[in-house]
Amino acid sequence: MGEHHTKNRRHSKFEDLPPDIQDAVNRMLIENATYEEIDIWVKSKGYAWSKSGIGRHGKDFTESVRRLRIVQDQAKTLISEAGGDGLVLDEAGGKLMAETIIDILLTKDLTPGKVPGMAIGLATLINANVRREKFKLDIKNKMGKALKDVEKNMKSMTKEEMMKNLKEQYGLL
């Protein structure tokens, strides 16, 4: 008896096509070309690719495009909701990216070479979140100290002195 083959091929014939052909196929998919039309076009360029292979790539590619559009819409919403508050936007964007990376790691059939890059990206986001939370805590502590100083000396301070004290606490002077 022959050996049982347990590994699935993780390499698509699409990846064997030249980059310009890949780009053209992806554009055709975005423009809603049929798999038949793509098959005819690819063959006219001298490459062989089965309709089922085109279908698999088309399904994966259109799903990626759909997800990208969702992320873009979410990012636009975050930007409009955050207004000019960069910290809120950074926090929301970080959460959105972490969610997207985790989703990709859990649901996509990644090649082993891509996993370390995704893990590094997630670690970078986590590090940024830690630094942002530390920054928020530092601001809160500085503001608390400044307010205590103002409350303690309120009767003897002029408005200008209060503002100077607050600006010093925030490092604005």
What are 114-129's pLDDT values in tens digits? Answer: 777 777 877 887 788 7
Q: Is the residue at 22 inside a domain?
A: yes
Alpha carbons 11 and 149: distance in angstroms, whole number? 65
Query: Strand ranges (DSSP E) for 31-118?
Result: none
Q: Is residue 51 part of a domain?
A: yes
Residue type, 18: P
Mean pLDDT throughout 36-56? 92
Residue 152 is assigned to a structural domain of this protein: no
| Residue with the two structure tokens 């990216």 | 97
Instruction: Give residue 76's domain range.
Output: 12-80
- Residue 131 in any domain: the answer is no
Q: Is residue 122 situated within a structural domain?
A: no
In a domain, 40, yes or no: yes
Q: Is residue 45 part of a domain?
A: yes
Instruction: State mean pLDDT over 108-118.
Output: 69
Select the more confidently predicted residue: 131 or 71. Answer: 131
Distance CA 121, CA 129 (A): 12
42 CB burial (10 A radius; 0-12, 13-18, 19+): buried
Q: What is the mean pLDDT of residues 141-146?
A: 81
Instruction: Note whether residue 31 is domain-resident.
Output: yes
The pLDDT of residue 25 is 93
Total structural domains within the chain: 1
